[in-house]
Amino acid sequence: MSSGCDHAIEYIYQYLDDEISWTRSTRIKIHLRRCSSCMDAYEFETKLKSVIRERGAAEPPPELFDTIRTMLQNESKNTNTD
Ligand SMILES: [Zn+2]
């Protein structure tokens, strides 16, 4: 993890909600490209958000986190075998 991680994680949520300026979102994009741990967090939040939106759930049930983690793991397996 680089020193920019704390800020990146902090802004990922706002970035997903389109609540930050383009300068900050650009910085996050650059950071995500260089930092796999923040990229994982970003992908997880993106997935979680879309599933919550699809289901119309206000509070994500705990099993949803496992489902999304499995989805992400399967996806990375698929990309690795390409
Ligand atoms: Zn990072």
How far does the centroid of ligand 1 lie from the alpha carbon of residue 3, in Å? 7
CA distance 40 to 23: 22
SS3 44: helix
Q: How far is the CA of 68 from the centre of ligand 1 (A)?
A: 20
pTM given for the model: 0.64
- Residue 35 CA to ligand 1 center (angstroms) comes to 5
Over residues 2-39, the pLDDT tens digits come to 567 877 877 887 888 778 888 888 988 999 999 999 99
Cα 33 to ligand 1 centre (Å): 9
Q: Where is pLDDT greater, at 60 or 64?
A: 64
Indicate whether 56 pLDDT > 50.
Answer: yes
Which run of H or E residues covers position 26? helix 22-34
Percent of the chain with pLDDT over 70: 89
